[in-house]
Amino acid sequence: MFQIFTDRGRQPVRECLKTTAQTIEALVFPDQCLSCRALLPRAGETDPSDLRFFCAACRTKGIPTFCPPFCQKCGQRFDTGENHLCEICLTDPSAIHQVRAALVYQGLVPDILALFKYHARLSLTRVFDTLMFHAFDRYFSGTEIHWIVPVPLHPKKLRQRGFNQSALLVRRLADRYVAEYGTRPGWQVNPTLLKRVRHTASQTGLDNASRKTNLKNAFQVPDDTRIQGTNVLLVDDVFTTGATCGEAAKTLAEAGAEQVDVLVLARA
């Protein structure tokens, strides 16, 4: 009666469990491209990373890197020429000193960010860690920074999503700095220096003026004594019109911050 526990006896059970697991995986992760819904090859025949959920055609969209020419202040990219101030920054400057990014919000980047932000594909942070560190090193290595502050979510939104994507983008930034330079940085990542105190409506579909109105007084600095006279680097996932980062920077400036810069994963 104990022969059923031999390796030969276990084989059908293993095959059954494997088939069941594959069926569950197919239900959770359908064999369709997350961008265009085209059918994908069977699991195991593609890239073992999270990009396996995109078809070969969508991958050809590319992942464009943020590079000049762009607005010296807001980071708006230009087709040609040299870096200079855009018309908006000349006529309606914000509290932000400068905005820089790792990627451009084009190609496959919107799909990858949606996978990360709305589908909790948190393993992508391993890729984003590298991108964010190199962007930080490229654009802010010569800037005196005291605090690195992820743009916060309202507690209600944080409960719904389960994580703050901006905080994840810099969770290992200090470790990457130590690994690269062999010394601790002069700044600290602190997600508690800025709070989101108003649960605002979605910004989707709103024009720039409406976005600013929607975000008015959305942020608060709990202890301004830690902010006064310091330089702050705000971190967010995407910079589009700049309404969110602009309101956050304004709040930090009113609390006494000397300078507020912004680093994002992608600039629209």
Q: Looking at per-residue confidence, does 33 or 231 come out higher?
A: 231
Is 13's pLDDT higher than 80? no
Instruction: Compute the average pLDDT of residues 161-188.
Output: 97
Is the pLDDT at 85 greater than 50, yes or no? yes
Within a 10 A sphere around the Cβ of 267, how many other Cβ atoms? Answer: 25
- For the chain, the first-to-last Cα distance in angstroms comes to 67
pLDDT value of position 211: 76
Q: Is 3 exposed, middle or buried (0-12, 13-18, 19+ CB in 10 A)?
A: exposed
Q: Is the pLDDT of residue 256 over 80?
A: yes
Q: Please, what's the b/e burial string for 236-265 (b: 16 or more CB within 10 A of its CB; e: otherwise)?
A: bbbbebbbbbbbbbbbbbebebebbbbbbb
What pLDDT is stored for residue 20 in this prediction?
Answer: 46
CA distance 35 to 38: 8
| Alpha carbon distances (Å) from 70 to 9, 93, 156, 235, 245 | 66, 16, 36, 19, 18
CA angle 109/106/235 to nearest 5° reads 60
Cβ atoms 233, 148 nearer than 8 A = yes
Per-residue pLDDT averaged across 10-29, rounded?
48
What's the confidence (pLDDT) of residue 36? 84
Q: What is the pLDDT of residue 32?
A: 79
The tokens of 229 are what?
């006279």
Q: Which of 227, 221, 222, 220 is nearest to 198 (CA)?
A: 220
Q: Which residue has the higher pLDDT, 16 or 260?
A: 260
- Is 70 exceeded by the pLDDT of residue 42? no
Does residue 33 have a pLDDT over 90?
no
- Half-sphere CA count of 90, side-chain side, radius 13 A: 5
CB 50 within 8 A of CB 120: no
Q: Examine the pLDDT at 175 and tell me if it is beyond 90.
A: yes
Domains of the chain: 2-53 (no CATH), 62-267 (3.40.50)
- As a whole number, mean pLDDT of residues 110-118 equals 91
Rounded to an integer, the average pLDDT of 202-211 is: 72
- How does the average pLDDT of the chain come out, rounded? 86
Confidence band of 31 (pLDDT split at 50, 70, 90): confident
pTM of the model: 0.82
Q: What is the mean pLDDT of residues 38-59?
A: 68
Alpha helices per DSSP H over the chain: 7-28, 56-59, 87-91, 109-118, 125-140, 155-161, 165-169, 173-181, 208-215, 243-254
Average pLDDT over residues 156-182: 96
The amino acid at residue 148 is I
For residue 265, what pLDDT band results from cuts at 50, 70 and 90? Answer: very high
Order of strands, sheet of 259-267, starting from the edge strand that comes earlier in the sequence: 99-104, 259-267, 231-239, 147-150, 188-189
pLDDT number for residue 126:
87
Q: How far apart are CA 268 and CA 265, in angstroms?
A: 10
> Pick the residue with more confidence: 98 or 51?
98
User: What is the per-residue pLDDT for 51?
Assistant: 67
